[in-house]
Chain A
């Protein structure tokens, strides 16, 4: 099949931000997640938990609360005192309104979904009306002085030791008048709101209970603790026959190592996230009808998009962080070896450049040109293009000034293979083509979005000959443009699941599309139809283990000399599909980690199939072919991420 030298890179020092809030939308089965750096991500739970949208963070905009209102409108509020509504189509912030109460700590939506309630630092609670296109201030509830109806005194005593202060981290008000509170003393308490009396007390942790979420039916809720434990409470009948019901702590889950800052309760699953940056989706087995792979636990750690680009010619890697870019040059070796060998380095990898982003905004996307002399990146409000000059060992960086006004914010940037053209997908749905000259540029054309659509394009692919450009949004089909004639060539029919990766093969100009349900399609651009191979594999179906993978394919590339090969990878495997070999059926072994050294020729003949998989590198964030015999793999070991997190609450193992 082939032997490769693999540059195994583990110096991409990426640490995802901790999760601050999660909000589940039942209507669209989507999950909004906000992180401590202000980033908001949207996961489509119906599309194999794919992270289909994201809104970049902002240094001053710590999100403290997130909620869905009026169906599918998403609001957040944070420590800068602003309430923000997000535009889920154009992928930008619709507007931000100051609540004039100082930092906002909490936000809730009224049961009918038409009013927002925010709790501010100054002690006031403000009621806002949601209008069709904005929100409007309606009432202010000032801090209650004496007129409090009931005062529920929370017991500060905890195991005989008086703590400094007991903080209520969360409350839930049920329709039957029960109030549930979770607090820093590790208690979950049930109160009667009519009398203000404590009904029941569960001491569940030695540390803070930080979050609570109640199911829509109000028959179960979930709480998260600072010890990383998630507890499930259910309203169950006292005896099998009686109608009297009682809240019972049913299941503990320990999927986190750190504080569980946020929990959500979907009809079929418990969702939790926290400081350890994992988003955990734990299906409730009793609610899952079909015990298939969807019933399995999901742990999402890495973004479902690429943070790394690569210059094949100069062996450069560009790493994208929230606020800076890093440029590295790969090392080299002259040695050769056999499978599994680590070769001695004749030159180590160099850190060439640390490019700090200007302003408080997070970087949305970045790209390095294949020739290595251009770097482009974009934040929400500005687009930056740099020219790199290599003079022997020296590297000089020159910013290209006077970017045109329309190039303000990009969702995706791509250079053509010969580095003469730059393609930019803006958040207005338009695609710009720019010709790059030595140290300057020229705007060539803008493809305007189809009339009536505002959906932004998040994925781009250009053919190696530079003639075709494919662009895809989150839901509509993939559009293919003819770059020579500057017109729309065709649209690949829309598919139920979002696109996770795109690429156009050299010479054949076949467009390979990976979807979040793990289907891979091959579409011939010149012929405007799916290729024969794609039809065959759709007819036969993918191997069940292939379909059960739980991370999306984030990158597709091709072998320059072997047109039958497609290289693709997700976070846990790297695969070369050899279209000339027979497809595996469900009976065949999809992944065989052992080299067939001691097997006879007969068995090798019978087990050879099109999918050549390697799971050596994981978690794999990026993999590409530098040349015919060289691969680059960027790994980010989980241990390295954990090492950079604050230490978790120490739990005693012995003598408890």
Chain B
């Protein structure tokens, strides 16, 4: 629950604030100390906890401060701009601003930004941005014009994103608003047109922004009293183009629509915003904290003496001008919970909107997995769903009862309807229940196998083996390979014994029955083309990295094989299994397993199937070797490591059997030869390593001769 604590005024002396209020309140490098710049000539450093000023500096009569003083966090110095073009840099010990360092620039400054972790950034009125150090090195450098003639900068802010500053500024031209995002890591400037949506006529009165990893969330307070949110990507897909961003309604009627001035907005944390302004047309000005997640008013405080419509927020303090005094209100925002949000609701709200805050947005936490590029959109959809959710909760129960008695066709239709509606927070358990219900009926009457419905449920991607343990068993029983493939692909927790049972089915199923099934082939690319040109002999050369095995005692089996190289080449290049079976086997290769639990089951596979699988693995391995990156073509191909691990597993489990099978002999020989050549490579690599070390030693000795020298050193 957010709460405002007792306010206190920072100084008893009224500030010389003009009608426009203060220029700014900025953090200094020490915690608890803040630089306050009034609208005229003075900068005051306050220690907030002591409520007293530590220092005060003024520019000469006739000069006027045009940009609030900031602190350079890297050096601890203060920087202020007066008369638009003149920079003054001083530190705490300096007394007279007139005597401190001065730099006159060639263009007018809009604002200086300073945040922890980077040098101060200077934003010019024409939209150009410079680092302070670069400017000071050459103050009279030419500053380019970025924005067009009638465009005026309305608001600006800087963020640190991955240790790099990102600067955003909003401009206005003939009532249209534009956002510019300047990133310094990649030095790009992107421009966005802010579309106001349906509320075309509203004048934007105040901006605030926060940042997460990919987006700047820009909030704007419009003259209709509503807060809108716009998501602007930090790294644009196409920086060259002028892009448009749409804003969506975030909070409704937080201030009176008629308030002409004196409204301000600040983002306190992920869920909370502070709004300054009169809540009702006739009422006094109010500072209120709103929870955006639950859309509730958390707390508010009346400010009877009026404000300047400015609000600053640092750490746990809100700063504002209350009457003529700079007022500090400490606040606390606890993590928003549903209970906390329901604790306090604004009484004046009409009952119609009451249901809205009750909705808990669970999907924001889940959503990150699904890719958040269209989070703005999803939010809007969500809001539309809110109304429906409370109306028909027992849809799943209806469906469950349908499953009990209706025909497969009917269930399919009902399921389609159910899936089309929405996802409730307990969606995956509901889906699990449905699958269990279907399987229960299947068990009771074996003729009932609602394959299409199950497939549909699989596609929801929320099922796991433990959620519906009977599903794979049923599919195995019916040798439904398509279903098994889907399960292997989507279940994260298939037991090793079941994986092995699937493998058995995949190896033993006849090609004819495979023809009839519909199998996802994305892991299998067309292995047959371009293969013919490759020769086995070339393979060995690539493998051995220039090392010539014939000089070594490496292998006599190699020679045996070389006697009929043509033969071997032709046999190994064609895929030993049909593409559909290859797709199924790839699903096995991709699945997770634990060696210890898998090995005993692998022993049960018949010898000719083991040989077939080995041949396939060997074929994949050869395909891998065809390119430098050792990968297979296709969308989700098995990786080299998976292939090698499975080959080792199979050989470990069935070695004695494989040795006895005549068809496997050639395969084993080529595998043996391959291992032999790997050993040779390793020994050669070791030799090279030693040679390199010797070279290094020689090199070192050369350097060591410089045992004595006289050098020149200059210390700065």
- B-binding residues in A (CB < 8 A): 1-11, 331-333, 336-343, 345, 348-349, 576, 585, 587-588, 592, 595-596, 599-600, 602-603, 606, 612, 614, 616, 631, 639-640, 643, 652-655
B618: min CB distance to chain A, Å: 21
Name the one of A3, A585, A606, A652 contacting B686, with C-beta atoms under 8 angstroms. Answer: A652
Point out the residues of chain A lying under 8 angstroms from B707, CB to CB: 9-11
- Which listed residue (B133, B138, B681, B716) contacts A1, Cβ 8 A? B716
Cβ of B184 under 8 Å from chain A: no
A587 and B75: CB pair below 8 A? yes
Q: Which 3 A-B pairs have the closest CB atoms?
A: A655-B682, A339-B714, A654-B685
Q: Are B679 and A606 in contact (CB under 8 A)?
A: no
Q: Complex: how many Å from CA A8 to CA B707?
A: 8
Q: Are B713 and A349 in contact (CB under 8 A)?
A: no
Nearest-neighbour CB distance to chain B for A568, whole angstroms, equals 13
In the complex, are the beta carbons of A655 and B679 less than 8 A apart?
yes
Q: Which A-chain residue is minimally distant from B696 (CB atoms)?
A: A639
Known: A576-B715, A602-B136, A603-B136. A7 touches B710 (CB 8 A): yes
Apart from A10-B706, A338-B714, A585-B76: 5 A-B pairs, beta carbons within 8 A: A5-B710, A342-B711, A600-B137, A654-B682, A655-B679
Whether A600 lies near B136 (C-beta < 8 A) is yes
Shortest distance from the beta carbon of A257 to any chain B beta carbon, whole Å: 13
B712 and A4 contacting across the interface, CB-CB below 8 Å? yes
Instruction: Point out the residue from B76, B101, B679, B716 that lies within 8 Å of A592, measured CB to CB.
Output: B716
In chain B, positions 39-84 with a C-beta closer than 8 Å to chain A are: 73-77
Q: Give, as a whole number of angstroms, the nearest-CB distance from B33 to chain A.
A: 14
**B710 contacts A6, CB within 8 Å?**
yes
Known: A614-B713, A653-B686. A639 touches B700 (CB 8 A): yes
CA distance A612 to B678 in the complex (A): 56
The verdict on B98 contacting chain A, using a C-beta distance below 8 Å, is no
- 30 A-B residue pairings within 8 Å (CB atoms): A3-B713, A3-B715, A4-B715, A5-B712, A5-B713, A6-B710, A6-B712, A9-B708, A10-B707, A10-B708, A340-B712, A343-B711, A345-B709, A348-B708, A587-B29, A587-B76, A595-B714, A595-B716, A600-B137, A602-B103, A603-B133, A603-B137, A606-B75, A612-B715, A612-B716, A640-B704, A643-B697, A654-B681, A654-B689, A655-B682
| CB-nearest residue of chain B to A328 | B708
Cβ 8 A contact of B716, one of A338, A596, A631: A596
Please give me the residue from chain A that is nearest to B679 by CB atom: A655
B709-A342 in contact (CB<8A) = yes
Query: How far apart sit A342 and B714, CA to CA, in the bound complex (Å)?
Result: 13
B residues within 8 A CB of A640? 704
Provide the bound-state CA to CA distance between A339 and B689, in Å: 39
The 8 A CB mask of B173-207 against A (1 = contact, 0 = none) is: 00000000000000000000000000000000000
Minimum distance in angstroms from A652 CB to a CB of chain B:
6
Contact residues in B for A585 (Cβ distance below 8 Å) = 76
Contact residues in B for A336 (Cβ distance below 8 Å): 712
Q: How far is the CB of B116 from chain A (nearest CB, A)?
A: 11
Chain B residues in 8 Å Cβ range of A655 = 678-679, 681-683, 685-686
CB proximity of A603 to chain B, nearest CB, Å: 7
- Please determine whether A339 and B101 come into contact, CB atoms closer than 8 angstroms: no
CA distance A570 to B700 in the complex (A): 25
Task: Establish whether residues A4 and B689, one from each chain, have CB atoms under 8 Å apart when the complex forms.
Answer: no
Residues of B within 8 A of A587 (CB): 29, 73-76
Complex Cα–Cα for A596 and B714 (A) = 11
| Chain A residues in 8 Å Cβ range of B77 | 606
User: Which residues of B have CB within 8 Å of A1?
Assistant: 714-716
Q: Shortest Cβ distance from A308 into chain B, in angstroms?
A: 14
Counting chain B residues whose Cβ lies within 8 A of the other chain, the interface size class is 20 to 34
Q: A628 to B686, alpha carbons, bound, how many Å?
A: 54
* Distance between Cα atoms of A3 and B711 in the complex (Å): 11
CA distance A394 to B713 in the complex (A): 33
Interface on chain B toward A: helix, strand, loop, or mixed SS?
mixed
Asked if A338 meets B685 with Cβ closer than 8 Å, knowing A600-B136, A603-B136, A606-B75, the reply is no
Known: A606-B77, A655-B678. A8 touches B711 (CB 8 A): yes
Residues of A within 8 A of B74 (CB): 587
Asked whether, in the complex, the Cβ of A8 is within 8 Å of the Cβ of B709, the reply is: yes
Nearest Cβ on chain B to A17's Cβ, whole angstroms: 22
Contact with A along B653-683 (1 / 0, CB 8 A): 0000000000000000000000000110111
CB-CB < 8 A to B714: which residues of A? Answer: 1-4, 338-339, 595
Residue in A343, A348, A614 whose CB lies within 8 Å of B712 = A343
CA distance A339 to B713 in the complex (A): 5
With A and B bound together, what is the CA distance between A345 and B711 in angstroms?
10
Taking the closest CB of chain A, its distance from the CB of B16, in whole angstroms, is 31
* Contact across chains for A331 and B75 when beta carbons are under 8 A apart: no
A348 CB contacts on chain B under 8 angstroms: 708
Other-chain residue from B136, B704, B712 in contact with A339 (beta carbon distance below 8 A): B712
Q: How far is the CB of B477 from chain A (nearest CB, A)?
A: 35
Residue among B133, B679, B712, B714 having the largest count of chain A Cβ atoms under 10 Å? B712
Chain A, Cβ-Cβ closest to B133: A603
The answer to whether A602 and B686 have CB atoms under 8 Å apart is no
A616 to chain B: which residues have CB within 8 Å? 713
Cβ of B29 and Cβ of A338 under 8 Å apart? no
Q: Is the CB of B712 within 8 A of A3?
A: yes
A640: nearest residue on chain B (CB-CB)?
B704
Contacts of B75 in A (CB 8 A): 587-588, 606
Query: Which residues of chain B come closer than 8 Å to A11, judged between CB atoms?
Result: 707-708
Q: CB-CB < 8 A to A6: which residues of B?
A: 710-713
Q: Which residues of B contact A595 (CB under 8 A)?
A: 714, 716
Tell me the minimal C-beta distance from B215 to chain A in angstroms.
Answer: 32
Question: What's the least CB distance linking B77 to chain A, in Å?
Answer: 7
User: In this complex, what residue of B is CB-closest to A588?
Assistant: B75
Complex CA gap A585/B715 in Å reads: 20
B71 shortest CB reach to chain A, Å: 10
Which A-chain residue is minimally distant from B137 (CB atoms)? A600
Residues in B whose Cβ lies below 8 Å from that of A2: 714-715
**B678 A4 Cβ-Cβ under 8 A:** no
* Distance, CA A349 to CA B716, complexed state (A): 29
A342 to chain B: which residues have CB within 8 Å? 709-711
Which residues of chain A have C-beta atoms less than 8 A from B682's C-beta? 652, 654-655
- List residues of chain B with CB within 8 A of the CB of A5: 710-713
In the docked arrangement, what's the CA distance between A538 and B328, Å? 35
* Cα(A338)–Cα(B711), bound, Å: 9
Known: A331-B708, A587-B73, A602-B101. A4 touches B136 (CB 8 A): no
A654: B residues at CB distance < 8 A = 681-682, 685-686, 689
Distance in Å: Cβ of A622 to nearest Cβ of chain B: 14
List the B side residues contacting A7 at CB < 8 Å.
708, 710
Max chain A Cβ within 10 angstroms of own Cβ: one of B101, B138, B707, B709 = B709
In whole angstroms, how far apart are the Cα atoms of A5 and B715 in the complex?
11
CA distance A616 to B103 in the complex (A): 36
Give every chain A residue within 8 A of B685 (Cβ-Cβ): 653-655
Partner pick for A333 among B133, B710, B715, CB 8 A cutoff: B710
In the assembled complex, the CB of A347 is this many whole angstroms from the nearest CB of chain B, namely: 10
Tell whether, in the assembled complex, residue A631 and residue B686 are in contact, meaning their CB atoms are under 8 Å apart. Answer: no
Asked whether B689 lies within 8 Å of A653 as measured between CB atoms, the reply is yes
Docked pose: A340 CA to B713 CA in angstroms:
6
Within 8 Å CB of A606, what residues of B? 75, 77
- Assuming A1-B715, A2-B715, A595-B714, is B689 touching A8 (CB within 8 A)? no
Knowing A3-B714, A588-B75, A592-B716 are in contact, say whether A8-B708 is a contact too (CB < 8 A). Answer: yes
Q: How far is the CA of A4 from the CA of B137 in the complex (A)?
A: 29
Nearest B residue to A653, CB-CB: B689
Bound complex: CA A585 to CA B29 (Å): 12
User: Given A1-B715, A606-B75, are A599 and B137 neighbors across the interface (CB < 8 Å)?
Assistant: yes
- Chain B residue nearest to A2 (CB atoms) is B715
- Contact status A4-B713, CB under 8 Å: yes
Q: Is the CB of A340 within 8 A of B689?
A: no
Taking CB atoms, residues of chain B closer than 8 Å to A338 are 712, 714
CA distance A345 to B709 in the complex (A): 7
Q: Could you tell me the distance in whole angstroms from the C-beta of A140 to the nearest C-beta in chain B?
A: 51
